[in-house]
Structure 1
Amino acid sequence: MNKQEILNLLKEINYPGFSRDIVSFGMIENVEIDGKNVSIALKITTDKDEKKQTVVDAVKNILQETNAFENINVTLTNQGHTPPPTQQQKAPAGPTPLEGIKHIVAIASGKGGVGKSTVAANIAVALTKKGHKVGLLDLDIYGPSLPIILGFNESPKLTQDKKLIPLDRYGMKVMSFGFISGNETPTIWRGPLVGRMTEQFFQDVLWGELDYLILDLPPGTGDVQLTLTQKLRLSGAIIVTTPQDIALSDVRKGADMFRKVQTPVLGVIENMSGLVIKGHISGSNDAKMDIAGIGDVNVDENGDFEFQIDIFKKGGGVVESDRLGVPLLGEIPINKEIMDATDNGKPLVLSNPDSPVAQVFIQIVDRIQTILQP
Structure 2
Amino acid sequence: MTLEVKKNIFIELGHFLKQFNANETVKNENVLKNDLFFNEFNKLIELSQSHNGWYTPEQVYFAIQSWAEALSKENLEKWLSNYNFDNVAPKNIALILAGNIPLVGFHDFLSVLITGHSVLVKTSSNDQHLLPFLAKYIIALEPKFADKITFVEGKLENFDAVIATGSNNTARYFEYYFKDKPSIIRKNRNSVAVIDGSESKEQLLALGEDIFRYFGLGCRNVSKLFVPKEYSFDAFFEAIFEYQDVIHYEKYANNYDYNKAVFLMSNFKLLDNGFLTLKEDASYASPISSVFYERYENLDLLKKQLNDEKDQIQCIVSNDLIDGSISFGDTQKPQLWDYADNIDTISFLLIT
Q: Which has the higher helix share?
A: 2
Structure with more relative contact order (C-alpha pairs < 8 Å, separation 6 or more): 1
Larger CA Rg, structure 1 vs 2: 1
TM tier, smaller:
0.3 to 0.5
What TM-score comes out, normalization by structure 1 length?
Answer: 0.33
